[in-house]
Structure 1
Amino acid sequence: MKYLVGFSRIIVGILFIISGFIKLNDPVGFSFKLEEYFSQGVLNLPFFEPYALYISVFVVIVEVLLGVMLLVGFRVKFTVWSLLLMIIGFTFLTFYSAYFNKVTDCGCFGDALKLTPWQSFTKDIVLLLLIIILFVGRRFIQPIVGDNAKRIITVVALVICGLYANHVLKHLPVIDFRPYNIGANIEEGMGIPEDAPKAIYDYAWKFNVNGEEQTIVTQGDYPTVDGEYVSVETTEVQAGYEPPIHDFTIEQNGEDFAASLLQEPKLVMVVAYDLQKTNTNVYSELKKVTDRAIKNGYKVIGMSASNNEQSSELVKRYSLGFEFYFTDETALKTIVRSNPGLLVLEKGTIKQKVHYNDMDELKFE
């Protein structure tokens, strides 16, 4: 039991620190995932949505701290109880997502590692078993350093987490795991290689044969049956290749201009996924920055999921020198974790990407 507890302690501690740090690197992204869980049709807890970012920061910092406290052996009873309660909550959410197919990505490891709902649930079941072992054998969890050292390590971890969270919230994630990272080409990210695996489907054909219903399963071919066709049900048995960037459009008046705009040698994108939630206090400065870009020969466009009335009102209020296009809200949230955020592209390749707090760092050559 002693060695089993020791093994579980290392695995659980390291996984909680890694999982927590990845989400701490992008708490805004994790808050979007929490909003999905809180929304109507999932957990039906919409009153939590305005607080999703605060909950996100709190949860990920606690996750990291519990991993640290477990490894150093600080306040073992509190730590193990907290780990157990947290993993029970995570397991419920991943099971709910998988069984009801509500949230297709739990966000357990942010954008660094995508897991299917059932993979996430399996991962949580394994962690739950390991934490139960820790709970039962908690007397074997001995501190690896003295009392003062344990407190210092825990406090230092808390301070580092707080400072790191503050930094990424005021700027952008230090490590960008998304397909819109600096250096990525959006058009290439939407492409599908010729040798990419294709989706495989089972077709369950139902026929009425001599008054009895008969089902024949094929993978596409229409079966030869001496009977009357009734219906067919399709089931995906193997997912095909999905490009890292999909559902990306830049629309205006129902026309998609993405292909032509991604060929622009000098393009600035002002991304504001929701104009009702955007930080309007920075638009006076944003106008100066975009005017400077236009003066230097750049084409500037706005991208939002808001309607034309809202975008036109914003353009008029701040005398902006560019127009807004429509893009899917999820895509815009993925592109940049800032509302607004700015990108500089060269023929579809992202050269610069900044939070609105860092607009003055943009260089227009």
Structure 2
Amino acid sequence: METNFTPTRKKKTNTIDIALGFSRFFVGILFIFSGLIKANDPTGFGYKLQEYFLVFHMDFLHDYSTWLAVLICGLEIVLGVFLLLGIYKNKVAWGLLLLTVFFLFLTFYSAFFEVVSSCGCFGDAIPLTPWQSFIKDIILLIFVFIIFKYRTRITPIFSNSTTIGLVSTLIVLLAFGIGIYTIYFLPFIDFLPYKEGNNIPALRVLPEGEKGDVYEYIYEIKHKQTAEVKKVTDKEYMDGIWEDDNWEIIGEPTSKLIKKGYQIPIPDLVISDMEGNDVTEEIITNPYYNFVVVSTYADKLSLADIIALDRINTTIRDLATDYNLRAILLTASPSQVARGLHDEMDLVLETFYVDAVPLKSMVRSNPGVLLLQNGTVIKKWSKITFPSKEELEEDYLGK
């Protein structure tokens, strides 16, 4: 009887260990990957958090969204690495469970109530719909539950407490340091449509051979004699109904997306001058070097931001005396704010107005700078990395 019982018990133990091992690997890699992708662009993830803050009426957290993004990204990386190393297994198991349940709630709420179009789980690198994110979190929760249930079976790679302390400290510093670095020095990898090398005019139009979204339009029509009211599609309406004088359209038609097509990368860029004239084409097709300074919210510039903008302005002013170039400031702030900033700092930059959404995609810095030529993004800089006059001459203008 003991002979029959022993192999059965051994088989069960091996199955649990295999399931636990795979779960640790899968969850650990996924958390590290998710954390690194978002830590590559915490400012962008912060914008996504602001959407959730609006939904849950937590607007008071808007100003802290970027640093909360760094915290979440760093926590994901730390939990993923600690899980793979097998250290702090109880704390890690609880952290994974609570974080996964929290993400599951957010993605379900976003999907069911259609309040956020993309969850931002993998940043702009891999955009997922809320329902896709919800399904992903359900699968993730299954593996996290296995880890949580059998957490006592996890064996750490390191047994020495001093080694564990040093390794964990290094991991924490690196995990949070990545996000902090990219806030000030821009993302390591730019997944945005305004990345270096992209031609802005080409990304504003539908490429030849591609088809855009297909919509169905619904008309509400009323019969003049019988007062019958019914809804018909645009196809049904054009199939003879429009010729019948007895039917009239009530109100405005509604649209319904029936087939998603090619998504134009830059669909919303409109640059306006102070009189409201559209000057988009004039700006983005300039054949000369064009310095585009972006300050999404000029009224939210800190003292450090003002100092950085002054340095950028001074450098461009010095360059303008020797080179044929154009320099502009794009902002979403009200005209009185922009005018006040222009006068106070004696800006050499021409001021134009753009909606905040495309400005946030241009450069993850306030202020930030793009160097354009013939509509192509030659280089991007944050407020910290903008080079000196001599460096710009050597690397770009002097060539």
Whether 1:261 and 2:286 are equivalent positions in the alignment is no
Measured in 1, the distance between the counterparts of 2:217 and 2:272 equals 36
CA distance in structure 2 between the aligned counterparts of 1:344 and 1:213, rounded to whole angstroms: 57
- Return the match for 1:297 from 308, 324, 331: 324
**What TM-score results when the alignment is normalised by the length of structure 2?**
0.83
Residue 289 (structure 2) pairs with residue 276 (structure 1): no
Contact kept, 8 Å, 1:201 with 1:219, in 2: the verdict is no
Once the two structures are superposed, the pairs formed by residues 84-103 of structure 1 within 5 Å of their partners are: 84-103=97-116
Q: CA deviation at 1:163?
A: 3.0
> Which residue does 1:237 correspond to in 2?
258
Pick closer, same or farther for the CA change 1:118–1:317 going to 2, 3 Å: same
8 Å Cα contact 2:87-2:156 kept in structure 1:
yes
Matched-pair contact (CA < 8 Å) for 1:293–1:300: no
Indicate how the Cα distance of structure 1 residues 323 and 79 shifts in structure 2: closer, same or farther if over 3 A, else same.
same
- Report the counterpart of residue 59 of structure 1 in structure 2: 72
The CA distance in 1 between the partners of 2:312 and 2:271, in whole Å, is 21
**Contact 1:203–1:217, Cα closer than 8 Å, also in 2:** yes
Distance in 2 between residues matched to 1:215 and 1:174, nearest whole Å: 52
State the alpha-carbon separation in 2 of the partners of residues 337 and 122 from structure 1: 30
Displacement, 1:5?
Answer: 2.2
SS of equivalent residue, structure 2 residue 194: coil
d(CA) in 1 for partners of 2:216, 2:235: 5
Shift of residue 299, structure 1, vs aligned partner: 0.5
2: CA distance between counterparts of 1:128 and 1:321? 55
Alignment of 1:177 with 2:199, yes or no, is: no
Could you say if the C-alpha distance between residues 133 and 233 of structure 1 is closer, same or farther in structure 2, counting changes exceeding 3 Å? farther
Partner Cα separation in structure 2 for residue 217 and residue 357 of structure 1: 55
Query: Of the candidates 293, 311, 336, which is equivalent to residue 285 of structure 1?
Result: 311
Matched letter for residue 315 of structure 2: V
Matched positions, count:
363
Q: Which digits, 9 at most, give the CA deviation of each residue in 1:340-361, with x for residues without a partner?
A: 1111111111111111112225
Residue 199 of structure 1: aligned partner: 213
SS in 2 for 1:93: helix
Q: Take 1:229 and 1:139, find their aligned partners in 2: how far apart are those partners?
A: 72
TM-score, normalised on structure 1? Answer: 0.91
More deviation, 102-111/224-233: 224-233
Alpha-carbon shift at residue 44 of structure 1 (Å): 0.4
Post-superposition offset of 1:300: 0.5
State whether residues 77 and 138 of structure 1, in contact with CA within 8 Å, keep that contact through their aligned partners in structure 2: yes
Pair 158,256 (structure 1): closer, same or farther in 2 beyond 3 Å: same
Residue number among 302, 314, 324 corresponding to 2:341 in the alignment: 314
1:187 aligned residue: 201
5+ residue gaps, structure 2, are 1-15
Partner of 1:36: 51
Distance 1:211 1:356, change over 3 A: closer
Paired residue for 1:110?
A: 123
For 1:208 and 1:220, how far apart are their aligned partners in 2? 14
Q: Residue deviations 1:258-305, cap 9 Å, x none? A: 111112121110100001112222233122112023222210111000
Q: Compare the two structures and name the one with the higher helix fraction.
A: 2
Q: Equivalent residues in 2 for 1:3-18 (5 A)?
A: 3-18=18-33
**Cα distance in structure 2, aligned partners of 1:174 and 1:304:** 25
2:364 counterpart of 1:337: yes
CA contact (8 A) 2:332 2:354 kept: yes
Q: Which residues of structure 1 form unaligned runs of 5+?
A: none
Counterpart Cα distance in 2 of 1:218 and 1:146: 71
Q: 350-359 vs 218-227, which deviates more?
A: 218-227
Q: State the percentage of identical aligned residues.
A: 33
Q: Tell me, in whole angstroms, the C-alpha distance in 2 between the residues paired with 1:204 and 1:285.
A: 55
Residue range with higher mean Cα deviation, 301-310 or 95-104:
95-104
